[in-house]
Amino acid sequence: MFQESEIIKIAKNYVKERSKKSNIDMTIVTEHTICKPYGMIFSYVRREYYETKDEQYNTLLGNVPFLVESKTGKIIPFGSSRSIEYYLQEYEAGRWIILEDGSRVIV
């Protein structure tokens, strides 16, 4: 079982890696973090947008919310076409599955 501080570190490292790969500085939107018994859900945006709220920096695509499971430390990316409540409901019902290759399946 991972502690909250460890989960946050995993999330920050995940966003840091995505920043490196895309060459875009990103940051977690801490005020949107959701705590659940099974883990924490994080959202992230371009750092410039987070700091300035200037829409010209709101240009990220694919920056979907993600869960860090407290039991395993595993990162579960969600989608962006529906509300976070929808994805949490699917996950909690056991219908949001991540395959070994990283692809998502709703069952």
Which tops the pLDDT comparison, 7 or 60? 7
Which tops the pLDDT comparison, 15 or 63? 15
Banded pLDDT at 98 (limits 50, 70, 90): low
Is residue 106 classed exposed, middle or buried when 0-12, 13-18 and 19+ CB atoms within 10 A define those classes?
exposed
User: Given a cut of 90, is residue 102 above it in pLDDT?
Assistant: no
Q: How far is CA 49 from CA 27, 59, 89, in A?
A: 9, 9, 29
Pick from 72, 66, 79, 63: nearest CA to 24: 63
Contact in structure between 26 and 59 (CB atoms under 8 Å): no
